[in-house]
Amino acid sequence: MKKVIILLMIVFTLTCFAKDKKLNFPPSSTLLEVSAQTNIPVKKIAQYLKLEDQTEFNVTLQKLGISNEDLEKAFAEYHNNKVSFYTGIILVGMGIVFVSLLLVGFIINSLQHVGERKKKTVVQTSVGKVTAPRDHISSDGIVAAITAMFLHDAEERDKIDLTWKRQTISLWQAAGMVENRVFEDRRGRK
């Protein structure tokens, strides 16, 4: 495994420090062929060569008056500006995603207010607060709510008492059976 990693590191360093070989394109080749061989978009090559007409992509380099030196200058300019080009694409893409997430967040946040038309009334009682729509509040409703809260609290207190004050009982006695140790105790006392 170490040998494979060392081999990959050597290959990587050699590819990083290798000089770019100069490409010689024949005068009969077109910008589309140059773009296919160099993996550079044809519009970027045309932009750096200052060609405005897109119909000239299929015309030979000789008819356009472009030499290999002009192509090398265009390639160098493309490689110098490539980082800023990709950085711009990344920033625009991330900006669009961020703005759309903010927009979706605001929409989701505003959805909680869509069906909210009824005014609610809060009544303070000795047991706690009662909140209900204004139409439903009456003295009977308040009494029912207080009673429900009181009974709920009482039920919760009973549950707590049961869990903390549980009596120890033998499962044998609960089932109505006699334990074996009772017989062993009697045998030993003759």
Flag whether 88 is in a domain: no
62 is a domain residue = yes
Task: Classify residue 183: in a domain, yes or no.
Answer: no
Q: Return the structure tokens found at 113.
A: 């207010």
Full pLDDT tens readout for the chain, 190 residues: 788 888 888 887 777 665 555 677 888 888 888 888 888 888 888 888 888 776 777 788 888 888 888 888 888 888 888 877 788 889 999 999 999 999 999 999 988 877 766 667 777 777 677 676 666 667 777 777 788 877 777 666 666 555 555 567 777 777 777 777 666 666 655 5
Q: Is residue 52 one of the residues assigned to a domain?
A: yes
pTM attached to this predicted model: 0.38
- The domain in which residue 36 lies consists of 22-80
- Count of structural domains within the chain: 2
In a domain, 190, yes or no: no
Element (H, E) at 82: helix 68-111
Whether residue 55 lies inside any domain: the answer is yes
Whether 1 is in a domain gets the answer no
For residue 16, is it within any domain?
A: no
